[in-house]
Amino acid sequence: MDYKEINPQIEYFINRHSTPTWIIEDATTNFIDLSYFSSGRAFYKVNGEQYEVNQGDLICIPQGSRRSATTDADNPMESFAVNFQLYDIRGNFVELPFPLVSHIGISEELLSLYNELTLVWLKKSPGFEIKARALLLMILHYYFKRFHYKVNVQSIDSRIQKSIRYILGNLHNPIEVEELARMSGVTTAYFGTLFKKNTGSSVKEYINKMKISNAENILLSGEFSVKDAAYKCGFEDIFYFSKLFKRIKGYPPSKILSDKKMTELAVQKGP
State the Cα–Cα distance between residues 76 and 250, nearest whole angstrom. 31
**β-strands 66-71, 32-39 pairing:** unpaired
Where do the H-state alpha helices sit in the chain? 108-123, 128-147, 158-169, 177-184, 188-199, 203-220, 226-232, 238-249, 254-269
Domains of the chain: 7-147 (2.60.120.280), 158-260 (1.10.10.60)
pLDDT at 151: 58
Bridge partners of residue 67, in order along the sequence: 27, 46
pLDDT digits (tens, 9 = 90+) for 63-88: 999 999 999 999 999 999 999 999 99
pLDDT at 158: 81
pLDDT at 147: 86
State the Cα–Cα distance between residues 87 and 103, nearest whole angstrom. 26
**β-strands 7-17, 57-61 pairing:** unpaired
pLDDT at 223: 84
Which residues of the chain carry a pLDDT beneath 50?
none
State the Cα–Cα distance between residues 16 and 111, nearest whole angstrom. 13
pLDDT at 267: 59
